[in-house]
Structure formats: C-alpha cells, structure tokens
Structure 1
Amino acid sequence: MKALVVKKYGENAEIVLESRDKPTPNQGEALVRVYAAALNPLDLSVKSGHIPFAKNPPFILGNEGAGVVQYSSKFPEGTKVIIQGGKLGVSQDGTHQELMVVPENQLVPLPDNFSFEEGAALPVAYLTAYLALTYYGEVKKDEWVALAGATGSVGYAALQLAKALGAKPIAIVSSDEKAKQALTAQPEAIINLSQEGIVKGIARITNGQGINVALDPVGSNGTSLLLQSLAQAGRLVSIGYAAGMETTINLMDLLAKATKILGFSIYAIPEEVTLSALQHIIQLAEEEKIRPVIDSTFSLEQWGQAISRLTSRKAIGKIIFTI
C-alpha cells in the first residue's frame, strides 16, 4: 500500500512516497481504507521539526481523513467514516496513506450528504473553530465575532459555526475574490483589507462598540489590531501564525477593558469535551448548517504541489489528498 513518508524533519524535510505492508489492527482498532486526507498547517509544523513531542521519523503525516472500514469490532465492514485527529500525524502515523489502523474511538460515520473529500475536511478545521468559539471564546448568542483569515479552512468553518451558534460573525479577508467567497457563508459583515483596515472596519460595523470575540489564525500585526478592537471583557483566541509568530501589543488594550488573550491548544481540552463537540458538529453537518469548502485536490504523488498551495496563503478552503 502507498504511504507518504517523512524520512527527515527540518525546513528542507525529506519526503518520499513508498510502498508498505498492509497494517494489522489490534484490539480496539479498525483497519480503514483511506480515500481522502487533508493537508494542514499542523503537518508543516511537524515536518519542519517544530513540534517537540512529534514521533521521530520515518513518519506519516495527516491528522484527518475519510474512508471505508475494512475491519472493526465496532463498525460493520463497508461503513464510510471520518477519521478524526487525536495523536494521528503527530505521535502516531497519520492519514497520508492508503490503509491505516485507527483507534475505533477516533472514527465517526460520514454524513450521508458528504463526499470523502468533505469528510476529510471536517474534523480539524471545524473542531478547532468550534472549540475556539465555545471552550475558549465562550461565545454567546448575538455577540460580535471577528474572524481573521475568513476564507481559510478554520476561518470559513468559524464563519459557519458562529452563525449556527447564534452569534454575529464578521469575515476579515484580504481581497475582493476572498470577500466573494466569504459571502457564501452569509456573515453579518465583511472587512476587505484591500479597502479598509481592521480597526476602522470593526468600529464601522459595531458602531464603535467593538467585538466580543476574535479568532486569529493569522498572527503578526493583525493580532494587536484585533486586540485593540475588542469590547469590554472581550476575548481574543490565538489559533495560528500564518503571517508570522511575533506581534506587539499595547498593554492598555488588555488592562483598560479587562480583555483576554487565550492560546488555543486542542491537546489541553478534555477528551469528553472534544468528543461532545465533534458530535454537535456532525449533527450540524447532517442538518446542512455547515459544509466545508474544498480548495483543491492532489494525489499523494503531487505532495510538493499540495504543500506549495498551502504555503502560498492563496487557498480558499481545504487542500485534500485523494488516495
């Protein structure tokens, strides 16, 4: 069976496509034929050696996917499933392979109205967005929520979820093309950075009151601008650093309005909270209140092109390997 294997970590990581023996599941594990697997920023962090607790190479990346059960004591053979996160692609071989063994508690049935590609795009982005909004951001109905990078996989998921949870999402995008894509999620408002800045845009939309929650997968200077735009007791959840790991903040933006900056880590969230969140996400998917956007698909042989697409920051939605 085919597997995309990282042989050496680093900025110039060594990655090869190789043939491996069919794996054998142990007690509590299922054998799954993977048909689609997502490529995420997490994969880039692992391959670059930035995750200290990642498994030593040779190693298979991939934290989410979708496929068909070939053997399981829990799921009938032929069940279409979503493979969700946990330690996959970090400390256990992940989804960038044709056949894999997966702990049965990390499988959920694929919604009938979802393709394998959409199923593979669901867990990481939507779990991240949902938990950032609820567990960390403690979002409430009718609160203003600003979403940076709103057409990225996490940002777009957060747009849909914030709306489904009764909040008022503001999409922050960098171009007219991305503004058009963000409109498909029906946000309350859009800030197009090619036309206005974050601070002025949020003040315009909220009549100067500020936002209650900000989700920031972008980082760099945008983080300080979101912090500046928070309302009294507002919460900023830092999810990523696509534009850079460093920012400068004015401490008065924290002190004067009793605001909070929270760092997102899915590994710090109790397992029962994560599982409950995933169940709610699947319910929303079945009710057609949320649906991932697929930016592009690649074969495993095209891994270099897939990584280039992800690092370009031009992707609108999720990048998927079809296997």
Structure 2
Amino acid sequence: MKAVFCNKLGGPENLGVSETKAPTPGPNDVHIRVKAAGLNFADTLQIAGRYQSKLEPPFIPGMEVAGEIIGIGSAVSRPLTIGQRVMAFMRGGGAFAEEALVDSEWLVPIPDEMDDVTAAGFPTVYGTSNFALKHRGRLKKGETLLVLGAAGGVGLTAVELGKQMGARVIAAAGGAEKCGVALKHGADFAIDYKAESIKDRVREITEGIGADVVYDAVGGDAFDQAIRAVNWEARMLIIGFASGRIQQVPANLILVKNISVVGVVYGAQTEKDPAYGASFVQEAADLYRQGAVKPYTGKVFQLKNAAEAMKALLSRQYAGKIILVT
C-alpha cells in the first residue's frame, strides 16, 4: 500500500509518499481501507515533534480517517461488518495511508447521507468541539459564546454546536470571506480581527457584559483581547494555538472576574475512554442526519500531495477542513 511518511521531525517538507507493507490487525483492531483523511493543526505539531504523544520517525501521520472495514480482529465484540463505512479519530496517527488500523471502540458508523470526504473531516473537529462545549465549558442556553478562529476546522464546528446548544454565538475570523462563512453556519455576529478589535466589538455586542465562554484554538493576540472582554465567571477554553504563540494567562485578570481557564485535550480523554470520546462524535453525527450541522470542506488534495496540503493548513488560507483522498 502507499502511505505518507514523516521521515524527519520538522515541517511538511519532510513528508514523502512510499510503498509499505499493509498492516495486520491485532485482536482489538479493525482494518480499514482508507477513502479519505482529514488534516488538523495537531498533525503539524506531531510531525514537528511538539505534540503531546510523540512518535519517532519514520511514522505515518494523520489522526482522522474515513473508509470501509476490510478486516476485524478476533476479540472485537461490537456488531461491525466487512464493507461497513466508518470514521474515526486516531490519536496515534496512521490515517495518511491507503489502509489503517483503528481500535474498534474509536469507530463511528458513517451516516448513509454523508460522503467520504465529509466523513474524513468530521470526527476530530466535531468530537473536540462537542466535548469542549459540553464537558469542559458547560455552555448553557442563553449564554454568549465567543469563537476565535471561527472559520477554521474546529472553529466552524464550535459555531454550529454552540447554536445547537442555544447560545448566542460571536465568531471572530480573519477576513470578510471567513466571517461570511461563519455567519452562514449560524453565527449571530462576526468580527473580522484583521480590521476590528475583538475586545471592543465583543464589549459592544454584549453591551459591556462580555462573553460567558471563549473557544480559543488560536492563542496569541486573539486570546489577549478575548480575556479582556469576558463576563463574570467566564470559561476560557484552550483548544490550541494556531497563531503560533501559546496563550500566556495574566493571573490578575483571572482573579478579578473569577475567570476559569480550562484545558481541552479531546485526544487524551478519548485514549483514556474511547467509547466516551466516540460518543461526542456520534451525537454530532446524529445532528448531521437531522440537517442541524453542515460540515464545510475548504480544499481537497490527493494523498501524494500531503506536504502541499499541510502547507495549506499552516497558511490558514482556507476556511473549513482540508482533506486528503486516496
């Protein structure tokens, strides 16, 4: 089979496609013929050696996969069948290949209405946002949710799920086009942080009260402004730092408003309890069946162009998800 290998820790230039032996499933594994795989910011950290779970080169990156079952381990007790279409989050990598092995508990059946490209970009982002807003952020109906990087892969799902939970959603994104995408996906207000102050606009929109929950996958200047535009007992959800600058939290600002700064690591949580982690994806898949969420794909690349796709992800040029197809 063909697979993308990270041959040296660093940037996308160290990725290359080569032939390798197909994997053999263990007792609890499900063998998948990969149809498509999603790219995530965590992939850029993993190939750079900066992700929480570190892999030694050469390894196959990729944490999000969609395909069909071609083999089932002897100890798998779930009612899975050969040929069944499934999607999964794969924290240990391995998705950027023509075939992959996935722990059976991590699999979620793909809705019949969902195509492979959409499915490949679904588990990680919808699982992360659902877990973040419900389990970590305790978002309540009627609260104000501020989403930073709202047109990105995870950000757009936070906009959609926040609306489904009954929140008023303020989307902050870079540029008028990305703001338009966020508004089409349910945001009540959009802030173009290339042209506007996040802090001033949030205060204006909320009439000085501020946001109750901040979903931050960006870090850097966006976080610095957002923490100065929150309500009493606000929850700052730290998802990632796509800007390149990790959030630095001023303790005095946390103190004066009883602000909670909350870490969100969906991958490690799923590793501890795969079935619980997968349940957040299943809930989102049910919403998809109802037409309540509409995943957005920004760009599709062939597997052989994985390095180019990773560069596109790092450029933050595209709204929505970037997908590899086999």
Report if TM-score (shorter chain) is over 0.5.
yes
1:295 aligns with 2:266: no
RMSD: 1.7
Per-residue Cα deviation, 1:123-160 (whole angstroms, up to 9, x for no partner): 11111111111111110111000001110011100000
CA contact (8 A) 1:136 1:264 kept: yes
**Mean CA deviation greater in 267-276 or 131-140:** 267-276
Offset at residue 186 of structure 1 (A) = 2.0
Higher RCO (CA-CA < 8 Å; seq separation 6+): 2
1:176-255 equivalences under 5 Å are 176-247=176-247, 249-255=249-255
Unaligned runs of 5+ in 2: none
**Which letter maps to 1:282?**
A
Q: Return the alpha-carbon distance in structure 1 between the equivalents of residues 92 and 19 of structure 2.
A: 20
Q: Return the alpha-carbon distance in structure 1 between the equivalents of residues 32 and 52 of structure 2.
A: 28
Number of equivalences: 318
**Which letter maps to 1:88?**
G
SS of equivalent to 2:141: coil
Q: Return the alpha-carbon distance in structure 1 between the equivalents of residues 278 and 119 of structure 2.
A: 16
**Which letter maps to 1:150?**
A
Question: Does the C-alpha gap of structure 1 residues 267 and 178 become closer, same or farther in structure 2, counting only changes over 3 Å?
Answer: closer
Counterpart in 2 of 1:284?
287
Offset at residue 7 of structure 1 (A) = 1.7
1:108 aligns with 2:111: no
Per-residue Cα deviation, 1:276-320 (whole angstroms, up to 9, x for no partner): 322211211211211211111111211221112111111101110
Q: Return the alpha-carbon distance in structure 2 between the equivalents of residues 140 and 60 of structure 1.
A: 39
Counterpart in 2 of 1:304?
307
Question: Does the C-alpha gap of structure 1 residues 3 and 139 become closer, same or farther in structure 2, counting only changes over 3 Å?
Answer: same
Counterpart in 2 of 1:78?
83
**Mean CA deviation greater in 22-31 or 313-322:** 22-31
SS of equivalent to 1:281: helix
SS of equivalent to 1:228: coil
Offset at residue 183 of structure 1 (A) = 1.6
Q: Return the alpha-carbon distance in structure 1 between the equivalents of residues 12 and 121 of structure 2.
A: 26
Q: Return the alpha-carbon distance in structure 2 between the equivalents of residues 12 and 122 of structure 1.
A: 23
Q: Return the alpha-carbon distance in structure 2 between the equivalents of residues 100 and 71 of structure 1.
A: 10
Offset at residue 54 of structure 1 (A) = 1.7
Counterpart in 1 of 2:35?
35
SS of equivalent to 2:159: helix
Percent of residue pairs identical: 30
Question: Does the C-alpha gap of structure 1 residues 189 and 16 become closer, same or farther in structure 2, counting only changes over 3 Å?
Answer: same
Q: Return the alpha-carbon distance in structure 2 between the equivalents of residues 204 and 195 of structure 1.
A: 15
SS of equivalent to 1:166: coil
Q: Return the alpha-carbon distance in structure 1 between the equivalents of residues 110 and 37 of structure 2.
A: 14
Offset at residue 249 of structure 1 (A) = 4.8
CA contact (8 A) 1:83 1:108 kept: yes
Question: Does the C-alpha gap of structure 1 residues 18 and 208 become closer, same or farther in structure 2, counting only changes over 3 Å?
Answer: same
Q: Return the alpha-carbon distance in structure 2 between the equivalents of residues 137 and 306 of structure 1.
A: 31
**Which letter maps to 2:65?**
G
Counterpart in 2 of 1:315?
318
**Mean CA deviation greater in 298-307 or 7-16:** 7-16
Question: Does the C-alpha gap of structure 1 residues 5 and 153 become closer, same or farther in structure 2, counting only changes over 3 Å?
Answer: same
Unaligned runs of 5+ in 1: none
CA contact (8 A) 1:211 1:230 kept: yes
Q: Return the alpha-carbon distance in structure 2 between the equivalents of residues 88 and 217 of structure 1.
A: 21
**Mean CA deviation greater in 228-237 or 303-312:** 303-312
CA contact (8 A) 1:217 1:242 kept: yes
State the TM-score, normalized to the length of structure 2: 0.92
